[in-house]
């Protein structure tokens, strides 16, 4: 399915060096902000208090956020839990006037007092403390999951294509991830488990786009004998533009609907996906394909063992006639 077809190849690789410089600057800036500011981690990583509150009627989440916010909590998470009448409230660690952390019991009493002042039917169901050690384990497990995904992608690309594509593809994917994290560090957006899930989703989504382009490059090496590497890559990217617009446009419409209508719970999840999808398109064209070109990928790297002893090429359209 195609919306349109571009008849003349766009010379993407002619400007590859310029876009690679832009990518390097953006990547360096993201690393700098990660080092300078760090990520604004949610209570899932730093620890805090989790409360479950039930109401006799559907809970007004915005009203609850406003009441808890008046107590001085800036990073509170409020979301429905199970039904529209059950609410889960996550509170970050807070220090008292003496500089010591406020206990979960004190936090829950303070919050329930504010909620009951507005809604007397509010009923506390459960309170528990999430320690920093749990958050450390989550961070470690999340990093381990990320490394496993990266290793799997490298192995997959090496088997399906060639090591040069594997290196180019993984660098492009890491480029996307670091830039997403750089955005969260620069704007100090909250980094939660849902955002980590979005980062892992972007990793898989971005490599899919790279694989489509790599596959078309391999086909073009077989199909167009007189084209050089630049021209083969330009044709591969140009011929997949319509597919890219359809795929990424459809996905982005869904993500934007979550961003605008999903509420605070899905806000940063959708934001991470939006940044990742946009940079995923960019990296597949101007990072992955360009790096493969700089690494010296050529026809012989992708088509091996396809020439018979007599020298006839199986990919030659006249192979059958020659036989």
Please tell me whether the overall predicted TM-score, pTM, comes out greater than 0.85 for this model: no
**pLDDT confidence of residue 134:** 61
Under CATH, which number does the domain 48-130 receive? 3.30.70.3400
| pLDDT surpassing 60 at residue 312 | no
What is the per-residue DSSP string for 106-141?
HHHHHHHHHHHHH-TT-EEEEEEEE-HHHHHHHHHH
User: For the segment 179-221, what is each residue's pLDDT rounded down to a tens digit?
Assistant: 999 999 999 898 888 898 898 888 878 888 888 888 898 888 8
Burial category of 18 from C-beta neighbours within 10 Å (exposed 0-12, middle 13-18, buried 19 and up):
exposed
| pLDDT surpassing 50 at residue 323 | no
Domains 12-39+134-302 and 48-130 in one fold: no
The beta-carbon contacts of 237-241 under 8 Å, at least 24 apart in sequence, are 237/10, 237/12, 237/213, 237/285, 237/289, 238/6, 238/8, 238/9, 238/10, 238/12, 239/6, 240/212, 240/213, 240/216, 241/6, 241/10
Decide the pairing of beta strands 190-191 and 40-41: parallel
For the chain, the domains span: 12-39+134-302, 48-130
Query: Does residue 63 or residue 102 have the better pLDDT?
Result: 63
| pLDDT surpassing 50 at residue 319 | no
Query: Does residue 303 or residue 106 have the better pLDDT?
Result: 106
Structure-block tokens of residue 317: 């359209």
Q: Categorize the per-residue pLDDT at 73 as very low, low, confident or very high, splitting at 50, 70 and 90.
A: confident
Task: Looking at the structure, give the CATH architecture of the domain made up of residues 12-39+134-302.
Answer: Up-down Bundle (1.20)
């Amino acid at each position: 399915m195609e919306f349109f077809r571009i008849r003349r190849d766009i010379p993407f690789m002619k400007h590859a060096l310029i876009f690679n410089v832009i990518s390097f600057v953006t990547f360096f800036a993201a690393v700098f902000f990660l080092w300078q500011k760090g990520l604004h981690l949610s209570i899932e990583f730093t620890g805090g208090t989790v409360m479950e509150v039930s109401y006799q009627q559907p809970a007004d989440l915005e009203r609850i956020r406003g009441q808890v916010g008046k107590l001085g909590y800036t990073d509170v998470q409020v979301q429905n839990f199970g039904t529209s009448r059950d609410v889960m409230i996550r509170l970050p660690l807070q220090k008292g006037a003496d500089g010591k952390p406020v206990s979960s019991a004190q936090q829950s009493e303070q919050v329930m007092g504010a909620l009951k002042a507005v809604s007397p039917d509010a009923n506390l169901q459960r309170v528990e403390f999430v320690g920093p050690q749990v958050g450390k384990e989550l961070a470690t497990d999340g990093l381990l999951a990320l490394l496993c995904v990266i290793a799997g992608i490298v192995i997959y690309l090496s088997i399906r294509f060639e090591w040069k594509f594997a290196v180019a593809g993984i660098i492009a994917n890491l480029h996307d991830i670091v830039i997403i994290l750089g955005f969260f560090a620069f704007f100090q957006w909250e980094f939660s488990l849902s955002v980590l899930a979005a980062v892992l989703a972007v990793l898989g989504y971005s490599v899919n786009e790279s694989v489509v382009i790599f596959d078309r490059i391999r086909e073009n090496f077989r199909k167009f004998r007189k084209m050089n590497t630049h021209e083969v890559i330009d044709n591969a990217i140009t011929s997949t533009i319509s597919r890219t617009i359809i795929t990424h446009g459809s996905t982005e419409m869904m993500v934007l609907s979550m961003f605008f209508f999903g509420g605070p719970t899905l806000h940063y999840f959708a934001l991470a996906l939006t940044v990742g999808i946009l940079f995923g398109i960019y990296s597949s064209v101007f990072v992955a394909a360009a790096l493969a070109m700089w690494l010296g990928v050529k026809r012989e790297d992708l088509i091996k063992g396809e020439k018979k002893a007599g020298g006839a090429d199986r990919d030659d359209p006249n192979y059958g006639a020659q036989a």
